[in-house]
Structure 1
Amino acid sequence: MVNNASDGLPLPQRYGAIATIIIGISMAVLDGAIANVALPTIASDLNASPASSIWIVNAYQIAIIVSLLSFSFLGDMFGYRRVYQCGLLVFTFTSLGCALSDSLQTLTIARIAQGFGGAALMSVNTALIRLIYPHRHLGRGMGINSFIVAVSSAAGPTIAAAILSVASWKWLFLINVPLGIVALLLALRYLPANAAKSSMPRFDLPSAVMNALTFGLLITALSGFAQGQSLTLVAAEVVAMIVIGFFFVRRQLSLPVPLLPVDLLRIPLFSLSIGTSICSFCAQMLAMVSLPFYLQSVIGRSEVETGLLLTPWPLATMVMAPLAGYLIERVHAGMLGAVGLIVMAVGLFAMALLPASPTDFDIIWPMILCGAGFGLFQSPNNHTIITAAPRHRSGGASGMLGTARLLGQSSGAALVALMFNLAGNNGTHLALYTAGTLAIIAAIVSGLRVTQPREEA
């Protein structure tokens, strides 16, 4: 089913295609956040220590970040639809594997495989949206996608708490099986095909290996430092990352179509938007990972209460992201992003200054500000990243967008662990002050984009 690349899909097919994207990407993003709340339960059930159970989360994130750009490149080579369909198939089967795991080792292996499926979905989803929507309505398509990504990552604790209140942790993964089958059927019927790249160079295996080592070592070093591992080991990982990363980037600059699209960073609008994305997702993760500890350990709320108190954030994002996608057709993305990030920063600082015994309302209104600000920023920012790149490089731009988000989230999660090690129960306040500062920095970087020419809408 081939579509006119500039005109998008006709309406009935467009609805089916976007439904496929919504189901697939929400499952992939949710599974990065949903296990956090259940970690103590899973560790107890599998007779694993709390420290070793962290690998249930880390294995998934590392698998995604080391393979995301490779799948983006394969999407440009073989078609975004084919990569997305394969990703759905792998993700669905490995979710079943996660649910059937009876030890920490088998669950970790299943999570690594699930991460590869999730990476295939995340790597090409925004490139597919560029094919699904007419160019004049691309902002709305990006708004829906941003809304799904932001709400899924923020709503993970809420959804996990709801599932755990009525079922075992295995259902956190089992629920993906019927959803994955539905998404795969929709994908086979509705997803558009992009034209084959006759001039596309061959897949560069050394680049893929260096990419995996560079990003894998970065996340491992960050996590190791945060969790108090030997400084000698962390330093060795950092040195190895810098050396491999240097040769990796040098190799990318010599390739006509690189795996890591370093050449796209020469476009000021693209590089500023990537920087803004990393800072904003780091700020979001600092808040969303640290707040459950504060709500449960410091002020004594239950798992379900914690999930409910975190819900205003994704709900506010749910309202603002589609509105922001509509506004991008009228207002410069740099201005929208700066305003959204300042609103988010106000919410983060307000939560850092909560009284010793806060009421529900004291917690809810800053959560709403954070979610609304994040929703106002994210859609225009993603739209800018995709449209700032040439159309035939949509896969690379989509991969960079996903990599920036994961780098921000992984850094934020590692910083939370570091702050709890440094400040104990005050770690949440330190994390929130850091998150607010990062949001201000991101707002400044976003504002710099106003001086750049606005892409044709």
Structure 2
Amino acid sequence: MNLAVAEEDGLPVPRRYWAMLAIALAVTMAVLDGAIANVALPTIARDLHASPADSIWVVNAYQLAITISLLPVAALGEIHGYRRVYLIGLVLFTLASAICALSDSLLTLTLARVAQGFGAAAIMSVNAALTRFVYPRRLLGRGIGINAMVVAISSALGPSVAAAILSVGNWPWLFAINVPIGVLAFAVAIRSLPTTPPASHRFDTGSALLSAATFGLLIAAIDGAGHSAHLPMVLGLVVLTVVCGTLLVRRQAGRTAPLLPVDLLRIPVFALSILTSILSFTAQMLAFVALPFYFQDALGRSAVQTGLLLTPWPLALAVVAPFAGRLSDRYSAGLLGGLGLLIMGLGLILIVQLPAHPGDLALVWRLALCGIGFGLFQTPNNRAMLQAAPRHRSGGAGGMLATARLLGQTTGAALVAMIFSLAPMRGTALSVTVAAVCAILAAAVSLVRLGTQPGNATSQPAG
């Protein structure tokens, strides 16, 4: 297929569908592996003769590797082509999964998880940019809606998939199952993914190191504050974050394609969409982390019942996301996002106001309402971020999209830990209340986009 046609009009059918299948398979593995190991941590610690505290590195190593490498890998995608970076990330993720399954020590498993995280970052940082080249401009919202649906379903199925695998096999199978899926995804991807034009600028190693330090230290500071770490240590991390961040921003000044996309953050629609995303994912994670304590400790539900009760949220999101994608091709992201986040905030407020002993139905429809609201917001917001960026800066936009999600999720989890430590008796109610406030703030920021000039989203050159 002619490259110019691929840039302007996306891929033809059925190649478009095969390309989306390749993207969906890889994204599913990357999202699932963000949480799937949590379920098996006690077993992993016991089998590898590690302490519970040390075994947490199996989870942390994966998340940290993703955090520090998202923007650098997105920059590599712009320079060398999103297809190439995606395929390399998929191969690395699949090989690292095999090493995880064969690991016989905590050190080996942790190092393999770091490699797996780098592979996942390559997948996550360029999948949105690839979608922009897979779908024609007029149908971009549909492609982003499919991505949002895949992420939502993967998030919802994570604990269930882990439990199902562990019911018939031991913990190495949690990672081994990625190998055949990765091979299939690679076979489909190499035949269907579009070739994207490479950029002329060179990779900025200094900025990549500063970016890794800035975001790694920021996540460590947020996590430390949430878990009541020693104040001097938290302050030290904050100071180091500010120093590295300042050096990073100064280094980006004047660059045509900065690794930290300060050029894109000058576009009002893009900056407002990033802020909306951070606030919304903070709200979502506040609820996701706090509600299981409410279900089990206050209502006496089992772990299995808790998982089932939480499912309506991501399930409703998965149902709504594709429709929201179609709507986003016709209506403003500011309006759809604002409406969706207000619905989500309403659902959270209704959860806080539940009676002492609510029935399952009362819980289910409130959680579904939250999922409907989040689904109505997410796809239009992601589309707005991508459309606001010039086509040749899709990698930077996709990297920031994933980074905003990760920052929001980390902040939400840390806020729950902080609230529970300060007010353990009212931790869940306060956490969900803060989540509602964050959702309403996010709705307000989203609605501000209605006041931006239409040219802000499209005035940048497309190629």
Q: Which residue of 2 aligns with 1:276?
A: 276
Any conservation in 1 of the 2:152–2:315 contact (CA below 8 Å)? no
| Residues 350-396 of structure 1: per-residue CA shift (max 9 Å, x gap) | 22333333321122111101111111000000000000001111111
93-102 or 373-382: which moved more?
93-102
Letter in 1 for 2:242: I
Query: Are residues 17 and 400 of structure 1, via their aligned partners in 2, closer, same or farther at CA, if it must alter by over 3 Å?
Result: same
Counterpart CA distance in 2 for 1:289 and 1:226 is 13
Partner residue in 2 for 1:99: 101
TM-score, L = length of structure 1: 0.95
Cα contact 2:347–2:367 (8 A) shared by 1: yes
State the Cα distance separating 1:422 from its structure 2 match. Answer: 2.3
**Equivalent residue number for residue 186 of structure 1:** 188
**Cα distance, 1:41 vs. partner?**
4.1
TM-superposition CA deviations, 1:327-358 (whole Å, max 9, x none): 11221110000111111112222223333333
Shift in Å at residue 27 of structure 1?
1.2
Partner of 1:11, secondary structure, is coil
Partner of 1:137: 139
Contiguous gaps of at least 5 residues in structure 1:
none
Partner of 1:71: 73
1:194 maps to amino acid: T
Indicate the residue corresponding to 1:32 in structure 2. Answer: 34
The 1:246/1:15 distance shift into structure 2, 3 A limit, reads same
Helix, strand or coil for the counterpart of 2:253?
helix
1:306-321 → structure 2 map (5 Å cutoff):
306-321=306-321
Q: Please name the residue that 2:301 is paired with.
A: 301
Q: Which deviates further from its counterpart, 61-70 or 343-352? A: 343-352
- 1:189-208 → structure 2 map (5 Å cutoff): 189-197=191-199, 200-208=200-208
Instruction: Report the equivalent of 1:449.
Output: 449
Q: In structure 2, what is the equivalent of residue 61 of structure 1? A: 63
Unpaired segments ≥5 residues, structure 2: none
- Per-residue deviation, 1:47: 4.2
Task: Note closer, same or farther for the CA distance 1:445–1:210 as it changes in structure 2 (3 Å cut).
Answer: same
Cα RMSD of the aligned pairs, angstroms, is: 1.9
Residues 158, 310 of structure 1: 8 Å contact kept: no
After superposing the two structures, state which structure 1 stretch, 170-179 or 270-279, moved more: 170-179
The yes-or-no answer on 1:217 pairing with 2:217 is yes
Q: Which AA in structure 1 matches 2:87?
A: Q
Query: 2:175 is matched with which residue?
Result: 173
> 2:386 & 2:41 partners in 1: Cα distance?
35
Contact between 2:156 and 2:315, CA under 8 Å: does it hold in 1?
no
Q: CA deviation at 1:151?
A: 3.2
Whole-Å separation in 1 of the counterparts to 2:321 and 2:163: 24
What are the superposed Cα offsets for residues 249-280 of structure 1, whole Å, 9 maximum, x if unpaired? 11112322110111111100000000000111
Range with greater deviation from structure 2 (141-150 or 439-448): 141-150
Q: How much has 1:179 moved relative to structure 2? A: 1.2
**Residues 155-197 of structure 1: CA deviation (Å, up to 9, x unaligned):** 4334334444444333332221211111111111111101233
Deviations 1:110-157 (A, max 9, x none): 221111000000111011011101111111111111222233234433
More displaced 10-residue stretch of structure 1: 420-429 or 358-367: 420-429
SS at match of 1:417: helix
Task: Determine what percentage of the aligned residue pairs are the same residue.
Answer: 59
TM superposition score normalised by structure 2: 0.93
2:436 alignment partner in structure 1: 436
1:182 counterpart SS class: helix
Find the aligned partners of 1:145 and 1:314 in 2 and give their Cα distance: 13
- Aligned partners of 1:158 and 1:423: how far apart in 2? 31
Give the residue type in structure 2 aligned to 1:310.
L
Moved more, 225-234 or 148-157: 148-157
Structure 2 CA distance, aligned partners of 1:279 and 1:54?
A: 27
Structure 2 distance, partners of 1:37, 1:296, is 16
1:51 positional shift: 3.6
